[in-house]
Amino acid sequence: MDPALLRERELFKKRALSNPTVERKIKETKYESREEPPKKKSKPVSSSSGPKIDISNYKTMTGSSQYRFGVLAKIVKHMKTRHQEGEDHPLSLEEILDETNQLDVGSKVKQWLLNEALVNNPKIEVSPDNKFTFKATYKIRDRKSLLRLLKQHDLKGLGGILLEDIQESLPHCDKALKHLQNEILFITRPIDKKKILFYNDRTASLPIDEEFQKLWRTVGVDVVDDEKIDEYLEKQGIRSMQDHGLKKPMAPIKRKKASNRKKQFKKPRDNEHLADVLETYEDNTLTQKGQFQSSTEKK
């Protein structure tokens, strides 16, 4: 070996012996004797902490009935506008939700719409293949069917039809009413200011002189009561129009109570052809009663 390396090795040993080292005994920990490591203490759960709620899906939760009826109202309104625009082909629930931009609806809300809400809605009609269309008040598709409906109401004496119902039922209603403006009469109801449509029956119009019309308009009967008008007409020999409304029901007639008279024995009226064969036993019963009384007296 190299003598220089041996010399360095001996010097290293001398230096190592000159520096004393203290060995520290490893103390046994408290938990070395245990088999299982200690469990960490769980932090107390605060009352405010709970299941996290997804804010984006909060509206689709099944508990919010307001959200359900909001979805239903949007569907009915969309189906009504489709019908008024002339689109009458039925749609499935998925197609309706797609057109109304409500594809994020939950499965429970969809089941509610299919089984309860849309089926029982008076403005929605269900087809056999489980598709839906708008159910209008009157089944009219064009101006001809509207005119036919008004004629039937006029002939049957049913009166007019509300403009709101026609606007709801007839697609492109404004165009149809413009074409039929000479065939229809518009009257505003004084109670609620709603417009009512009547059929303009020209055959019922009679030519009246202008002089008679002027006299009719000059007569003022605003202050006069109906009774005074009836009296005046009766004095002039004119019978006034009587009311043909519902008559008052007649009071039930009270029957007299049956008297407490003794019921008289009525002879049978039938079997007259057997009058010779029938026998009466009145005499025999009297003799038997007499014999019985005499025997008792003797005793």
* Same domain flag for 118 and 174: no
> Quick one: average pLDDT of 82-94?
88
Q: Is residue 25 part of a domain?
A: no
Number of domains in the chain: 2
Residue 279 lies in a domain: no
**CA pair distance 12, 5, nearest whole angstrom:** 11
Show the DSSP H helices in the chain as ranges: 3-18, 65-84, 93-99, 107-112, 143-156, 163-169, 173-179, 210-218, 226-235, 282-298
pLDDT digits (tens, 9 = 90+) for 232-278: 888 888 876 565 445 556 666 766 665 555 566 666 566 666 666 66
Whole-prediction pTM: 0.49
Q: pLDDT of 136-158, one tens digit each?
A: 888 888 888 988 998 888 888 88
Is the residue at 27 inside a domain? no
Residue ranges making up the domain that contains 73: 63-134
Domain assignment present for residue 51? The answer is no
**What CATH code is carried by the domain that includes residue 148?**
1.10.10.10
Residue 72 within a domain: yes
Same domain, 126 and 153: no
Domain end: 81, 104, 134, which one? 134
Same domain, 68 and 125: yes
Is 257 contained in some domain? no
For residue 49, tell me if it sits in a domain.
no
Is 286 a domain residue? no
